Amino acid sequence: MTASLVAAWCCAVLVPASLAVWRYRQALAGGMGDDLGFYLDAAGRVRAGEDLYSSAFYVYSPLVAWILSPFTQSSHVLAWWTCTSIVACLVAAAATVAVCWRALRPWQRPTLALIAGVTILLDRGVAMDLAEGQTDTIVLAITAIALLLATLQMPRWAGGALAGAAIIKTWPALFVLWFLRQGAPQRKRAILAWFGTGLGFVLLTMIVSKPGIVERWISRTIAMSDQDFAVWSAWGVGHELLTPRGNFVPLANSPTAATLVDLLLGGIVLGLLGVTLVRPGDPAFALWNVVAASVLLIPVAHQQYHLLLTPLVWLWFARALQGVNPWRSVPVAVLMAFRWAAPMLLDPVPIDDRWKYLAIMLASIATLAASVLVNARSRNVTTSLARGDTRSSLSAAAHKQGHGGPHQASGDASS
């Protein structure tokens, strides 16, 4: 048994490590992405004492430009940035496995680690993120760390971490809704830490930068809320497919129908977000359901943003491995795997492949619906966020529930 576990852990570590090296070399072979170029241009303006928002397309807080400002003249900046992004993917996978750790049996832990490492490194959104030199993998890692901190009953640190995700890219501010879910413990501490971290960064920005930088940050964010790129959110499906202003050959030209489709799909996602907050079920699942709903609701969502849905694959596979309500968890895990694979199976998506775009978007909304609705009827049997962890293992509770036992793990209790 020991030898089998050692072999399993070697596989769980070596396979993702090999994929990480492959992905690193692939990204470097593709050259520098446009977004990293914009970051470096803004960073160069910081070094020169100029307004960083005079840089084209730099729409985020000054943080990324500040971090990159010492490296604007480095010939290895692309290599370091790519390496950081890949490490962030592995950190997110490791943090999620750690959250599920106590609920899993010894052989299930390396299995989940292998699934997480492989799926994140082969994810289509990650490939696009690395090609562009974006920051979504870093947001993924910070959010996963925030969940781990909540698991360790450190609400202030969890709130600060989620604020960090919003500082990197403004729209992850929506993730704070997770703290507003029904039954969330120590909510005030987490929200105050989130607000305090964000406010502290804004004040720091005003102190160390030129006057008016916060106003320019806000105005640039608003100005860039309407872009000519394909919109990979529920609000954009109708206009992408039913009006000439979209990025695909339209199925028809009907602005009225486009608005109705956008309202329908957007309303569905908003409703699912509401269900998540009222009936959160397992809080770890609830966090990533909130993240997925946020991705599908923001006005400008690029395809690589969907990499933030990947942790739902890990969590549902963890539940399926446990055998918790297999008639529910296994189908949802399979559906999650299909959504993860869809962008690769249907790639590329040129302007005439409107059906591929529609299939990917409907798959994303369908998997969110399945995750929210099934999790709403679940308890904390997959993660370590349940009351009573110190008295009995969650894996035992999961085993009882999976076999129809009368005892179940407690609901939302500590974070």
Query: Do residues 412 and 380 touch, judged by C-beta distance below 8 A?
Result: yes
* 116-129: pLDDT as tens digits: 999 999 999 999 99
Residues 285 and 382: beta-carbon distance below 8 Å: yes
Whether 389 shows a pLDDT value over 50: the answer reads no
The answer, as to whether pTM is greater than 0.95, is: no
CA dist 172 and 174 (Å) reads 5
Torsions phi, psi for 412 (to 5 deg): -50, 120
Question: Could you report the per-residue pLDDT of 26-80, keeping only the tens digit for each?
Answer: 999 887 678 899 999 999 998 988 888 888 788 889 999 999 999 988 889 999 9
% residues pLDDT > 90 (the chain): 67
- Give whole-number Cα distances, 370 to 58, 125, 167, 194, 365, in Å: 36, 21, 30, 29, 9
Distance CA 89, CA 117 (A): 8
**Cα–Cα–Cα angle for 169, 175, 181, nearest 5°?**
170
pLDDT tens for each residue of 310-329: 999 999 999 999 988 899 99
Contacts of 326 (CB under 8 A, 6+ apart): 320, 402
Lowest mean pLDDT among 262-266, 281-285, 403-407: 403-407
pLDDT tens-digit series, residues 38-52: 999 999 998 988 888
Residue 86 pLDDT: 97
- H runs (alpha helix) in 252-296: 255-278, 283-295
Task: Specify the 3-state DSSP secondary structure of 412.
Answer: strand
SS (H, E, C) 310-335: HHHHHHHHHHHHHCCCHHHHHHHHHH
Report the Cα 321 to chain-centroid distance in Å: 22
**Secondary structure (DSSP) of 356-400:** HHHHHHHHHHHHHHHHHHHHTT--S-SSS-BTTTTTS-HHHHHHH
Phi and psi at residue 196, to the nearest 5°: -65, -40
Residues 322 and 106 sit within 8 Å (Cβ to Cβ): no
Region at 210 (left for phi over 0; alpha for psi -120 to 50; beta for the rest): beta
